[in-house]
Amino acid sequence: MAQWTSAVGPAQLARQLQAQQPRPAGPGARKPPAYRALADGIRLLVLEGRVPVAARLPAERELALALTVSRTTVAAAYEALRAEGFLESRRGAGSWTAVPAGNPLPARGLEPLPPEALGSLIDLGCAALPAPEPWLTRGVQGALEELPPYAHTHGDYPAGLPALRQTLADRYTARGIPTMPEQIMVTTGAMGAIDAICHLFAGRGERVAVESPSYANILQLMREAGARLVPVAMSEGLGSWDMGRWRQVLRDAAPRLAYVVADFHNPTGALADEDQRRQLVDAARSAGTVLVVDETMTELCLDDDLEMPRPVCAFDPAGSTVLTVGSASKAFWAGMRIGWVRAAPDVIRSLVAARAYADLGTPVLEQLGVNWLMGTGGWEEAVSLRREQARANRDAIVTAVRRELPEWEFSVPRGGLTLWVRTGGLSGSRLAEAGERVGVRVPSGPRFGVDGAFEGFIRLPFTVGGPVADEAAARLAAAARLVESGAAGGGVEPPRSFVA
């Protein structure tokens, strides 16, 4: 019986390998043999989780053809990986990826570190802040006071508590988009909302247009749902949306869904203007594409002088083309797993009906807590506190990175929780690996792209400030020196650098 659970095709693996930047050669350093560079590149993909463990790799001849190298080079690379514990093989079953005994299983998304690991490692992988006390405690206390009547019911509310649906509808109405409770479904976080939307609208094999780059966890969710991701590049400089490209992709590829983060985009922090929003909705409507708009960052405007554009759903108030997703996770606290969808009533009914085969509903106590906060003014107080904290952290990490790594490039976003950094020609994947060795965890750019794009980037969240931001930047500089010296894990150069 085969030991592999998935397979990586030769063309896909070749694209991921070719996207990796060559390891800089230190003074007097010799370029590694071609087989060593190939083995290091595959190992790096496994360590980053971009090639899963127990994935069957292409046969030696297939990969050699895809990379335009000799079969001897591939065979030697596979043998090196077997010796290091990153590959297992059996005659008749092929070769599949593995991790050496004692190594942690690589994560494919951006899961937060367990609390016990935070003492020795600065975690810049998860863009989430601690709870804004005392408002979390007050919200829970308010929820407990309102719980008794609900405790006498079955507790299953597939569409969400009626009180919270009304509160959320009223908030959209106050933003200038008249909304009924029937247009709201409460979910278990934004991830739960988008998972439900994907299962309803985009079956296995359906095309989904996504920004390039985009939010790593959503990309992985869609991959695992069987979607065929169609990347749409941001404009030059990654600061805005290229509407010409969007119109072309929506027209030519006719994706069933399109996913965008128009408010303080994750990871770039970009903010779409009103004209871009209008054009995006018009293009989606013309193509028959359902546009999923992620608003989880919309309340995190960090500059007081910034006037926010109207929501994307303002250009489709009935919700027939635009499905809006919101969440308490970024604006309030990631541990408060409350999200929601705003859409046309018939779409909401379909989502609710499909939910009977998923999670049945969202925890009542957490819904009551969010409803209490939104109904008492506590939500606004908590979000204001969150903005102050994120603003201070943003300024601290920007200052620290500019001091320690002046050759790195970025635009300072005016909101959100993330800084998208071009790493001065260094490989983001190698920086991520070297960072683990010097005590800082950072996600590399390819996690936010499709098939290895954005190797020259990393994402830094606004989750640390003060002396911790200074120390994080110092550790990133130490990781950069490791990569520059060639002491960090290697990668693979483009095919032309291989020799038989």
Strand order in the sheet with 207-212: 184-187, 339-342, 322-327, 290-294, 257-260, 207-212, 228-233
Distance in angstroms (rounded) separating the CA atoms of residues 84 and 10: 22
Structure tokens that stand for 7 in this block: 């397979």
pLDDT at 105: 54
Look at residues 325, 33, 72, 27 and name the one whose alpha carbon lies nearest to residue 196. Answer: 325
Contact between 232 and 242 (Cβ < 8 Å): yes
The answer to whether residue 368 scores a pLDDT higher than 80 is: yes
Confidence grade of residue 24 (pLDDT, cut at 50, 70, 90): low
What percent of the chain stands above pLDDT 70?
89
Distance in angstroms (rounded) separating the CA atoms of residues 57 and 89: 10
Q: What is the mean pLDDT of residues 336-349?
A: 96
The answer to whether residue 104 scores a pLDDT higher than 70 is: no
Distance in angstroms (rounded) separating the CA atoms of residues 78 and 86: 9
Q: What is the mean pLDDT of residues 134-159?
A: 95
Q: Are strands 290-294 and 257-260 parallel, antiparallel or unpaired?
A: parallel
Per-residue pLDDT reduced to its tens digit, 238-258: 678 999 989 999 999 999 999
Give me the half-sphere count of Cα atoms (radius 13 Å) on the Cβ side of residue 333.
Answer: 19
Per-residue pLDDT reduced to its tens digit, 428-448: 888 998 998 999 999 998 889
pLDDT at 118: 57
Those residues with Cβ within 8 angstroms of residue 92's Cβ, 6 or more apart along the chain or in another chain: none
Per-residue pLDDT reduced to its tens digit, 319-334: 999 999 999 999 999 9
Per-residue pLDDT reduced to its tens digit, 164-199: 999 999 999 999 999 999 999 999 999 999 999 999
What percent of the chain stands above pLDDT 90?
68
**Per DSSP, what are the bridge partners of residue 294?**
325
The answer to whether residue 485 scores a pLDDT higher than 50 is: yes
The answer to whether residue 119 scores a pLDDT higher than 80 is: no
pLDDT at 12: 86
pLDDT at 77: 94
Distance in angstroms (rounded) separating the CA atoms of residues 161 and 156: 9
Q: What is the mean pLDDT of residues 276-305?
A: 96
Q: What is the mean pLDDT of residues 55-75?
A: 93
Contact between 319 and 313 (Cβ < 8 Å): yes
Least confident of 6-15, 242-251, 468-477: 6-15
pLDDT at 306: 94
Q: Look over the chain and give the mean of its residue pLDDT values, rounded to a whole number.
A: 89
Least confident of 12-16, 282-286, 308-312: 12-16
pLDDT at 29: 58
Confidence grade of residue 139 (pLDDT, cut at 50, 70, 90): very high
The answer to whether residue 111 scores a pLDDT higher than 70 is: no
The answer to whether residue 488 scores a pLDDT higher than 80 is: no
Least confident of 75-89, 102-116, 213-227, 300-314: 102-116
Structure tokens that stand for 34 in this block: 């071609």
Distance in angstroms (rounded) separating the CA atoms of residues 173 and 176: 5
pLDDT at 442: 93
Confidence grade of residue 113 (pLDDT, cut at 50, 70, 90): low
User: Which residue has tokens 């919309």?
Assistant: 298
Q: Tell me the pTM.
A: 0.82
**Per DSSP, what are the bridge partners of residue 260?**
293
Confidence grade of residue 499 (pLDDT, cut at 50, 70, 90): very low
The answer to whether residue 467 scores a pLDDT higher than 70 is: yes
Burial class (CB in 10 A: 0-12, 13-18, 19+), 304: exposed
